[in-house]
Amino acid sequence: MYKVVSLFAGCGGCDLGILGDFEYNNQKYKKLPYKIIYALDIDEKALATHSLNFKTNQLKCGDICNILSDEIPDCDIVIGGFPCQSFSTVNPTKDPFDDRANLYKQMVRIVKDKQPKAFIAENVKGLLTLHNGKIFKKICKAFENAGYTLSYKLLNAADYGVPQKRERVVIVGIRNDLNKKYLFPKAPNVGKWIPLSSVIKDLAMKDQKYYFSERAVKGMKNAKPNMKRGLWQNLDEPCLTITSHLAKVSLNSRDPVLLVDSKKELYRRFTPREAARIQSFPENFKFAGSETSAYRQIGNAVPPVLFWHIAKDLSKTLVNA
Active site residues: 84
Closest by CA position to 23, among listed 215, 285, 317: 285
Q: Give yes or no for a contact between 41 and 11, defined as CB atoms under 8 angstroms apart.
A: no
What is the DSSP code string of 103-117? GHHHHHHHHHHH--S
Residues in the chain: 321
Strand (E) positions, the chain?
Answer: 2-7, 22-24, 27-29, 34-41, 58-61, 77-80, 118-124, 148-156, 164-165, 167-175, 231-232, 239-240, 256-261, 266-268
Q: How far from the centroid of its chain's Cα atoms is residue 242's Cα? A: 10
The H or E element spanning position 317 is helix 304-317
In three-state secondary structure terms, 293 is helix
Q: Strand pairing of 118-124 and 77-80?
A: parallel
Q: Give yes or no for a contact between 114 and 69, defined as CB atoms under 8 angstroms apart.
A: yes
Q: Give yes or no for a contact between 26 and 200, defined as CB atoms under 8 angstroms apart.
A: no
Query: What are the two backbone dihedrals, phi and then psi, of residue 163, each rounded to the nearest 5 degrees?
Result: -80, 55
Query: What are the two backbone dihedrals, phi and then psi, of residue 258, each rounded to the nearest 5 degrees?
Result: -110, 135
CA-CA distance, 153 to 128, in Å (whole number)?
Answer: 10
